[in-house]
């Protein structure tokens, strides 16, 4: 499930990203997409490919990884994102929900650390 109005656009200096063509209210689930779960030994292989930037750690013990379908893997990172994501390990889904009102034309972002306002450096910002 992806709500109407979400589009993939080119974002300067970021590549592709998810944007909205209409306003979205705070606390609205905007996407619920299935995932393909892979065991830890396959993650070692994936980490050597371009897919490294698009997979999520998976499972309560973070002992697996997954590739999210839908738009999930296209959301860009922000330390103060306007959306957050939730993992449903039993059903095999990731949901994205807004954390504030979003304006039409705005890019939708998630914090790759998991919490929408977690300022711990992510892998591409580590020096």
d(Cα 24, Cα 101) in Å, to the nearest integer? 6
| 0.75 exceeded by pTM | yes
pLDDT of the chain along its 127 residues, tens only? 999 999 999 999 889 999 999 999 999 999 999 999 999 889 888 888 878 778 888 999 988 999 999 999 999 888 889 999 999 999 999 999 999 999 999 999 998 766 556 555 555 555 5
Instruction: Report the distance separating Cα 119 and Cα 12, nearest Å.
Output: 22
Q: Is 101 within the bounds of a domain?
A: yes
The values of phi and psi at residue 82, to 5°, are -100, 0
Whole-Å CA distances, 120 to 45, 74, 113, 115: 26, 21, 7, 10
**Residue 120, in any domain of the structure:** yes
CATH assignment at residue 20: 2.170.270.10
- Cα pseudo-dihedral 50, 79, 83, 87, rounded to 10: 60
Do 3 and 30 form a contact (C-beta atoms < 8 A)? Answer: yes
- Boundaries of domain holding 98: 6-35+71-125
């Amino acid at each position: 499930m992806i709500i109407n109005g979400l589009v993939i656009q080119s974002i300067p200096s970021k590549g592709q990203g998810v944007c909205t063509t209409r306003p979205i209210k705070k606390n609205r689930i905007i996407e619920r997409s299935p995932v393909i779960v892979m065991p830890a030994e396959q993650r070692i292989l994936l980490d050597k490919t371009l897919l490294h930037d698009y997979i999520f750690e998976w499972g309560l013990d973070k002992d697996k990884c997954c590739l999210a379908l839908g738009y999930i893997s296209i959301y860009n990172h922000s330390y103060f994102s306007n959306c957050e994501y939730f993992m449903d390990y039993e059903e095999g889904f990731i949901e994205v929900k807004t954390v504030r009102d979003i304006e039409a034309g705005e890019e939708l972002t998630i914090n790759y650390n998991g919490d929408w306002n977690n300022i711990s450096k992510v892998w591409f910002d580590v020096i």
